[in-house]
Amino acid sequence: MLRQALSTDLLIAGLTAIVGDKYVLHHADDKAPFEAEWRGLFKGTALLVVKPGSVQEVADVLRFAQEHRLKIIPQGGNTGLVGGNTPDESGSEIVLSLARLNRIREVDALSDTMTVEAGVTLLRAQEAATGADRLFPLSLASEGTCTIGGNLGTNAGGTAVLAYGNARDLVLGLEVVLADGRILNGLGKLRKDNTGYDLKHLFIGSEGTLGIITAAVLKLFPKPNSLVTVFCGLESPKHALDLLELAKRSAGQAVTTFELLPRLAIDMVVDHMPGCRDPLGERFDWYVLMELSSASDPYLEERAQSLLEEALDKAVIVDAVMANSLDQRNDFWRLRETLPEAQAFKGGSIKHDVSVPISNVPELIALVDAEVTAAMPGIRPMPFGHLGDGNLHYNLTQPVGMDKQAYMDQRETMHAIVYKHVLAMGGSVSAEHGIGRLKKHLLQQVKDPVALELMHSLKQMFDPHNILNPGRVL
């Protein structure tokens, strides 16, 4: 049956009846903060912005949207990097902001769980865990702004995946609103539950295309009482891999962070970010920021010292410094966390979020560096990131003096080079940022045909009228 589209005034009236006049935004100035992502790569025009304040209001909004075939774009902290959280340019999509679903419903220290709503920021979730003498280990540079709903919708990674896993590994239960307004109440705290399909994993990483996550039961861990942060200088990614092997052998699960940085990254942040300085007196081609933590090992610092001595004896590292205060630890981390911002001062940056088996990382860097520099002399490769789990942000900075737009016009050529080598190693073209609109076209090339067919079938089953984040992922 054909459905007659409602006028904007009737849409506003219908949504206002659900969430209240204050929470249906239709003026351009009010909508603007929800229409662009922070890098400016994706900017659209929202028909409306709706801000429900409860799971029932989310359900009522989706039921209304289903009835009138309205396109809904769920949005958390709007920190996404692949265009999955912003409206397109058509002016026909409604942004559904989950910012008002911001309650921490429960912290159960005995069960090591925390139940939070989707609009709770990651930082606030971390602080709530700390208040109960527990740790919620998900950690991202955007943690002051990004939200739990967005973290789960994209299966966020971050700096502690090596020890604790991705966002998917930190969830016990979900509350999800389906496209037709039904509420899936799966907020269980059980560590063991073999009663059929584990449905939560369908929604984690689906980027809001199958349902809208409104709350989650998160896993908590013992709060570390020992923390050692080390900044190492070394000669190559192969030496970094050797250091990782030594660290795992000597410290095991205490190795919680292992970040790889090239010299170019250090130069960028020292040159342009206030308060950043080189921790080592000598310049090195490569660096590792490594962190060990434990809730029960009183000798962790001695263990770390022995690890560094062994690494020096075996010429795995050339120099290292251990943070002797919280301020010094923060200085080390500032070099890593301000890097995305510092890149902007060097012109255009063609970015990649890829993963390969950990053992292949040095080979990937060598092959890609050689091919991109042959294709464009003067280009400045800057692979950095989470060596401990095989995830690199393989960014390519433009040659000095080249026109920025002329450089960015070559992005598809550079993408092809990077992805060719990643796929040859059995890697992924999206390790932790998601697919969104940016990488949707790649799925046909990289996804197993049967897997892609199943994904389309699931989308059709959960969202037959394609109202949830249409044009994203699939």
Q: With bands split at pLDDT 50, 70 and 90, how would you rate the model's confidence at 4?
A: low
- Do the bridges between strand 104-108 and strand 113-117 make them parallel or antiparallel, or are there none, so unpaired? antiparallel
**Do 211 and 131 share a domain, yes or no?**
yes
Q: Which whole number is the average pLDDT over 190-195?
A: 92
Q: Is residue 383 part of a domain?
A: yes
Closest to 380 measured CA to CA, from 399, 394, 366: 399
Closest to 407 measured CA to CA, from 435, 434, 382, 376: 376
DSSP 53-121: -SHHHHHHHHHHHHHHT-EEEEESSS--SSSSSS--TTS-EEEEE-TT---EEEEETTTTEEEEETTSB
Q: Is residue 72 part of a domain?
A: yes
Check whether 363 has a pLDDT greater than 90: yes
Tens digits of residue pLDDT in 19-74: 999 999 999 999 999 999 877 778 999 999 999 999 999 999 999 999 999 999 99
**DSSP class of 2:** -
pLDDT at 79: 87
Give the three-class secondary structure for 209: coil
Q: For residue 104, how many C-alpha atoms fall within 13 Å in the half-sphere facing its CB?
A: 17
The mean-pLDDT minimum among 45-54, 177-186, 311-320, 332-341 falls in: 332-341
**Do 318 and 251 share a domain, yes or no?**
yes
Q: For residue 319, how many C-alpha atoms fall within 13 Å in the half-sphere facing its CB?
A: 11
Percent of the chain with pLDDT over 70: 99
- CA–CA dist 338, 269 (Å, integer): 7
**Do 239 and 276 share a domain, yes or no?**
yes
Overall domain count for the chain: 4
pLDDT at 2: 47
Percent of the chain with pLDDT over 90: 87
Query: Are residues 101 and 53 in contact, defined by beta-carbon separation less than 8 angstroms?
Result: yes
Q: State which of 81, 100, 119 marks the end of a domain.
A: 100
The mean-pLDDT minimum among 90-94, 340-344, 381-385 falls in: 340-344
pLDDT at 432: 87
Query: Are residues 116 and 170 in contact, defined by beta-carbon separation less than 8 angstroms?
Result: no
Tens digits of residue pLDDT in 288-302: 999 999 998 889 999
Domain with residue 130: its CATH number is 3.30.465.10
| Ramachandran class of 232: left when φ > 0, alpha when ψ lies in -120 to 50, beta otherwise | beta
Q: Is residue 441 part of a domain?
A: no
Q: State which of 100, 133, 166 marks the end of a domain.
A: 100
Six-digit token string for 30: 């009010």
Tens digits of residue pLDDT in 371-415: 999 999 999 999 999 999 999 999 999 999 999 999 999 999 999
Q: With bands split at pLDDT 50, 70 and 90, how would you rate the model's confidence at 445?
A: confident
Domain hosting 208: range is 104-222
- CA–CA dist 28, 45 (Å, integer): 9
Check whether 183 has a pLDDT greater than 60: yes
Q: State which of 318, 341, 364 marks the end of a domain.
A: 341
- CA–CA dist 122, 157 (Å, integer): 12
The mean-pLDDT minimum among 265-269, 325-329, 442-446 falls in: 442-446
**DSSP class of 468:** B
Q: With bands split at pLDDT 50, 70 and 90, how would you rate the model's confidence at 458?
A: very high
Check whether 119 has a pLDDT greater than 90: yes
Check whether 255 has a pLDDT greater than 80: yes
Check whether 286 has a pLDDT greater than 70: yes
Check whether 75 has a pLDDT greater than 60: yes
Tens digits of residue pLDDT in 200-244: 999 999 999 999 999 999 999 999 999 999 999 999 999 999 999
What phi and psi, each to the nearest 5 degrees, are found at residue 338?
-90, 0
Report residue 66 CA to chain centroid gap: 29
Q: What is the mean pLDDT of the chain?
A: 94
Q: For residue 89, how many C-alpha atoms fall within 13 Å in the half-sphere facing its CB?
A: 3
Domain with residue 50: its CATH number is 3.30.43.10
pLDDT at 200: 96
**Do 13 and 70 share a domain, yes or no?**
yes
pLDDT at 281: 85
